[in-house]
Amino acid sequence: MLTKILLADDHKIVRDGLRALIEKEPNMEVVAEACDGRTTVQRAKEFMPHIIIIDIAMPDLNGIEATRQIVNDIPGVKIIALSMHSDRRFVTRMLESGAVGYLLKDSAFEELSLAIKTVQSGKVYLSPAIAGVVVEDMVRHSPQKISRTTAELTPREREVLQLLAEGRTTKRIASQLNVSVKTVETHRRQVMEKLDIHSVAELTKYAVREGLTSLE
């Protein structure tokens, strides 16, 4: 069976390289590409791929939030994170969002090929370095010790938080999300209240620290 793959990364050179390698593999085809999280969600619905290979640190909508939306909207799709980040916060949130694979960008292509085949067969694939992070996190952190503040935000509040952290104006966010300026202001106020943060600068620091966006 032909495995249809969507590539999501904000660097074109990465997408080009992955496409060239993947399409040399038998029974694999790249059916679409995306350079940000929101486009990834749209193209996932349009092309209905079997596998999505997604970066985490993407503009507009990060890979964690894009994964959460895609998994909710398209049952059965398999998502593999391909990231430069091995920090447990990124790994844990990506897996909690519904990803079934996680590799680092310095992995050999043979490992990515194996990951694609593994998740397509219904299993989870974690590169050895990531597996160690997950096990360590399970050992060291009970559910009571893990911060729940980000989890307490709604999906739309997390979107607004990321866009604010990326320097978008309230008016631009409203246009981008197709809502009113007043609605965005309400979301911003609710985010600040829930997180007990009182400035956009502090929101930006929080978003970077929690893996919702990056300074790239």
| Distance spanning both ends of the chain, measured CA to CA | 38
- pLDDT per position as a tens digit, 52-108: 999 998 988 999 999 999 999 998 999 999 998 888 888 888 888 999 999 999 999
CATH of domain 3-140: 3.40.50.2300
State the pairing for strand pair 78-83/101-104: parallel
Each domain of the chain, given as residue ranges in start order, spans 3-140, 155-209
- pLDDT per position as a tens digit, 195-216: 888 777 788 778 877 767 765 5
How far apart, in whole angstroms, are the C-alpha atoms of residue 93 and residue 99?
9
Q: Do domains 3-140 and 155-209 have the same CATH topology?
A: no
DSSP alpha helices (H): ranges in 57-154?
63-73, 88-97, 109-120, 128-140
How far apart, in whole angstroms, are the C-alpha atoms of residue 7 and residue 51?
9
Yes or no: domain 155-209 corresponds to CATH 1.10.10.10: yes
Token pair in block for residue 160? 């607004």
Average pLDDT value over all residues in the chain: 86
